[in-house]
Amino acid sequence: MNPSQKPISSFSGYFSITAEKPFGNESPAEETLQSCRGKEVIDEKQFQSNYELEGIVNVGGLQEEHSFLCRSRTGDDLGLRSSLKTVDLSEHEGIVNVGSLQEEHSFPTSFGKKKKKVYSNNVEKSPYSNSKSKNVVEISKQEILRPGMVLLKHYISLRQQIDIVNTCNSLGEGPGGFYRPGYKDGAKLRLQMMCLGMNWDPQTRKYDKVHPVDNCEPPEIPLGLRLLVERAIKDAHCLIKKDSDMVNPEDILPSMSPNICIVNFYSVHGRLGLHQDRDESRESLHKRLPVVSLSIGDSAEFLYGDGREVEQAKKVLLESGDVLLFGGESRMVFHGVPSSAPEPLKAKTGLRQGRLNLTFRQF
């Protein structure tokens, strides 16, 4: 094959995808997509490929039929719900080599029949949806809330969410684990907290090597979580680039490698007042390195704005699996989670008690 040709622009055969479990304490498990049909569309501008797939998904022994979109970045697969590792095309038939990447090839006749495809920002559909209807799957949306502030909806797969909760649970029970911190004036925060990498003390507003309660060093951030955060930043960059071709996404949302993670667990009365995250190193703040926030469990309203006034703050709903990034111009945004959600929100989202939030930062 001529090396200047992209190997595959589209295909109509069957192929299989293996997605490695990205982290967790157990031995690496695999989720397999079997008998998938689809095509790869390479978007050179975005340095990413979109895969449009339909097939049987094997998730934890359960076989379900789904169709969905997934992505991979050239040379760095992002892929299926962010965990696609390898695309094994050995079983596929009818590879089409094309000179032009724009060239379209026919879909298999059954492809895309059952449901509408969603493009633009809605680049993924979860293969792990809990939806009763097999073909109605969750649509992932990406949104720029303000310059430097990006929301990746339903970004973390259910499998990954389970891993994160289990990981936090077991780390939380060990040294440097969950505790209920207090402020200087003796008031307690309305949440349980655990820090990974370095400890943040709400009383001193400082980072330290040890936990104030048991004097232990906090657990390390699991590698899979660090990779997930770095990948989310890259995905946010793709969105920023898509939004405006003229900008360098790094200028809008700088990259970072997290070495701190603050894990908050909010139970029914949990809340966090409007605040800025400004205790990281001077260099980190100067570079406006982003905070990357993962939400798991109950939905919550997230307030954000330029000041402490709750009335002036904007609101966005954070749901399980959402990733919110704020850096660059939005690094010092005031933000918080109010204590109780409005009734319609509860009614429409099934809001219940218990929400885990992990914010990653680079000191």
Which parts of this chain interact with Fe ion (CB under 5 A)?
277
| Identified binder of ligand AKG from the candidate list 51, 128, 265, 302, rule CB under 6 A | 302
Report how far Cα 235 is from the mean position of its chain's Cα atoms: 9
Identify the H or E element spanning 161: helix 158-173
Nearer to Fe ion, 138 or 277 (CB): 277
Q: Does 155 bind ligand AKG (CB under 6 A)?
A: no
**In angstroms, what is the minimal distance from the CB of 359 to Fe ion?**
6
Q: Does 160 bind ligand AKG (CB under 6 A)?
A: no
Distance CA 306, CA 335 (A): 9
Nearer to Fe ion, 126 or 293 (CB): 293
Nearer to Fe ion, 277 or 322 (CB): 277
CA angle 9, 22, 44 (to 5 degrees): 25
Nearer to Fe ion, 31 or 277 (CB): 277
Interactions with ligand AKG, residue window 234-273 (CB under 6 A): 262, 264, 272
Nearer to ligand AKG, 111 or 304 (CB): 304
Q: Does 70 bind ligand AKG (CB under 6 A)?
A: no
Tell me the residue type at 231.
R
Nearer to ligand AKG, 48 or 264 (CB): 264
DSSP helix, strand, coil percent of the chain (3-state; round to 5): 15, 35, 45
Distance CA 226, CA 326 (A): 16
Q: Does 293 bind ligand AKG (CB under 6 A)?
A: yes
Pattern 305-324, binding to ligand AKG, x per CB under 6 A?
-------------x------
Q: Does 301 bind ligand AKG (CB under 6 A)?
A: no
Contact 149, 304 (CB under 8 A): yes
Q: Using CB distances below 5 to 8 A depending on partner kind, what does residue 293 bind out of ligand AKG, Fe ion, none?
A: ligand AKG
Distance CA 59, CA 47 (A): 29
β-partners of residue 12 are none
Closest to 328 measured CA to CA, from 150, 142, 151: 150
Helices (H), ranges, 218-361: 223-243, 249-252, 282-286, 343-349
Q: Using CB distances below 5 to 8 A depending on partner kind, what does residue 302 bind out of ligand AKG, Fe ion, none?
A: ligand AKG
Output b/e per residue, 239-258; b: 16+ Cβ within 10 A: bbbbbeeeeebeebbbbbeb
56 backbone dihedrals φ, ψ, rounded to 5°: -90, 130
Nearer to ligand AKG, 226 or 355 (CB): 355
294 backbone dihedrals φ, ψ, rounded to 5°: -110, 130
| Identified binder of ligand AKG from the candidate list 10, 49, 50, 359, rule CB under 6 A | 359
Nearer to Fe ion, 190 or 346 (CB): 190
Q: Using CB distances below 5 to 8 A depending on partner kind, what does residue 241 bind out of ligand AKG, Fe ion, none?
A: none
The residue at minimum Cβ distance from ligand AKG is 357
Closest to 166 measured CA to CA, from 271, 33, 297: 297
Q: Using CB distances below 5 to 8 A depending on partner kind, what does residue 167 bind out of ligand AKG, Fe ion, none?
A: none
Q: Using CB distances below 5 to 8 A depending on partner kind, what does residue 31 bind out of Fe ion, ligand AKG, none?
A: none
Q: Does 335 bind ligand AKG (CB under 6 A)?
A: yes
Please, is 84 exposed, middle or buried when counting C-beta atoms within 10 Å of its C-beta (0-12, 13-18, 19+)? Answer: buried
Q: Does 357 bind ligand AKG (CB under 6 A)?
A: yes
Q: Does 337 bind ligand AKG (CB under 6 A)?
A: yes
Residues forming the site for ligand AKG (CB under 6 A): 262, 264, 272, 277, 293, 295, 302, 318, 335, 337, 357, 359
